[in-house]
Amino acid sequence: MNRTTQGFTLGAMLLLVTGLFVAAWTNPPTAVRAAKAEALLAAGAMVPQARGWVAEEPLPPPGRRQAGSATYAVLVEAFGQLGYELRAIAEGAAGVPRLFLAALPHDLAQVPENAERKAIFFRAVLPLVLQVNEEIKAERAKLLDIRARLRAPRHVAQGERRWLAAMAERYETTPGDVDQLLKRVDTVPVSLALAQAAEESGWGSSRFVREGNALFGQWTTASDGHLVPRERENGQTHRVAAFDSLLDATRAYVRNLNSHRAYREFRDVRAHFRAEGREPDGLDLAGTLGRYSQRGGDYVRRIRGLIVVNGLHQLDDAALDERDVRLGDSSPIAFLLRMLPFPRT
């Protein structure tokens, strides 16, 4: 990493030391991986500019912007200490570390090699997508259990009925219709989410993701704390939604696909996969997202191309490692990591 060492400050050195601590805590391999990241497949395409899309549902209010973030060199070093390599993940030889970045490295756009930049980006975003899918799987399992007991019929506690009502409100479904809820409370293929994150954020280089963690470029009509597009046409009032963390942005993205009326076909096709006992396929589901962008069919072809060229389908079966990466808020790298807000069960 000789191209970055001259720019290291004392703060960056502290981040590096903390990265070593994280590795020791999670019991990683002793060998330090090379700093140069490796893409799943060779990719020579130019890194695209970020694109936006319209989200009509209310978005969570923006939180505090991150005061800064580590350099990509520090992040790559942490990946190496954790033994976090995409090829091993794709081959099923390793789990994905529970390393949840609150913000992307501020200098990610300066990574000169496309393949290296892609590998850093995918490794940064992959745990976020898996975490959100893990949360949804837990909700879905609870829904399936409640539906089975309702059909038996067997006892369903009042607390569970209140939870069902809250879920119906959250996902905009008819109260008491568990089948309708199950159609919406479902995961998004990892390959699809990674491809859309790359396209919408310009591989982590867009102003929106750097200033507001807008990983998926969602639009909002709210004003306070959100970002005004520089190329917004006269008369338009939308802004790009800003989030307190990348995890919040990922949750909002999945919730949009799972509840917005524009993505009914997406949910229908996914439910068809489930009915046939198959896992939903990212390439097939990408074909339902022509309304995600004003580019329509061109956008669908772009997302499918990203999935194929980068071999992202190889990551669809990835799973989070059982080991936790834990740091206190007083740690020098605490602003880079977002810890789970609840204990895992």
| 239-284: pLDDT as tens digits | 567 788 899 999 999 999 999 999 999 999 999 999 999 999 999 9
Amino acid identity of residue 168, one-letter, is A
DSSP count for the chain of H helices, then E strands = 12, 4
pLDDT at residue 112 in the model: 77
> Could you name the CATH architecture of 24-133+179-324?
Orthogonal Bundle (1.10)
pLDDT at residue 52 in the model: 34
Instruction: Pick the closest to residue 140 from 280, 325, 18 (CA basis).
Output: 280
Of residues 220 and 174, more confidence is placed in 174
pLDDT at residue 223 in the model: 53
pLDDT at residue 341 in the model: 39
> What burial class does residue 19 get, using C-beta atoms within 10 Å of its C-beta: 0-12 exposed, 13-18 middle, 19+ buried?
buried
Q: Which one-letter DSSP state was computed for residue 302?
A: H
pLDDT at residue 274 in the model: 96
Min mean pLDDT across 15-29, 156-170, 232-246, 313-327 is at 15-29
pLDDT at residue 126 in the model: 98
Residue 89 DSSP SS3: helix
pLDDT at residue 287 in the model: 97
Domain range list for the chain: 24-133+179-324
Amino acid identity of residue 252, one-letter, is A
Instruction: Pick the closest to residue 143 from 159, 173, 171, 163 (CA basis).
Output: 163
Q: Among residues of the chain, what percentage have pLDDT more than 70? A: 66
Alpha-carbon gap, residue 72 to 278, rounded angstroms: 38
Query: Does residue 153 have a cis bond before it (omega within 30 degrees)?
Result: yes
pLDDT at residue 63 in the model: 40
pLDDT at residue 114 in the model: 86
pLDDT at residue 37 in the model: 31
pLDDT band at 324 (very low <50, low <70, confident <90, very high): low
pLDDT band at 214 (very low <50, low <70, confident <90, very high): confident
- Is the confidence at residue 14, as pLDDT, over 50? no
Min mean pLDDT across 48-52, 203-207, 328-332, 335-339 is at 48-52
Rounded average pLDDT over 150-172: 94
Helix (H) or strand (E) holding 223: none
pLDDT at residue 208 in the model: 73
Rounded average pLDDT over 70-84: 84
Rounded average pLDDT over 184-190: 98
Q: Which residues pair with 239 in a beta bridge?
A: 220
Is 259 in contact with 57 (CB distance < 8 Å)?
yes
pLDDT at residue 77 in the model: 83
pLDDT band at 170 (very low <50, low <70, confident <90, very high): very high
Residue 218 DSSP SS3: strand
Q: Which of 23-32, 226-235, 323-332 has the highest mean pLDDT?
A: 226-235
Rounded average pLDDT over 301-311: 97
pLDDT band at 74 (very low <50, low <70, confident <90, very high): confident
> What burial class does residue 208 get, using C-beta atoms within 10 Å of its C-beta: 0-12 exposed, 13-18 middle, 19+ buried?
buried
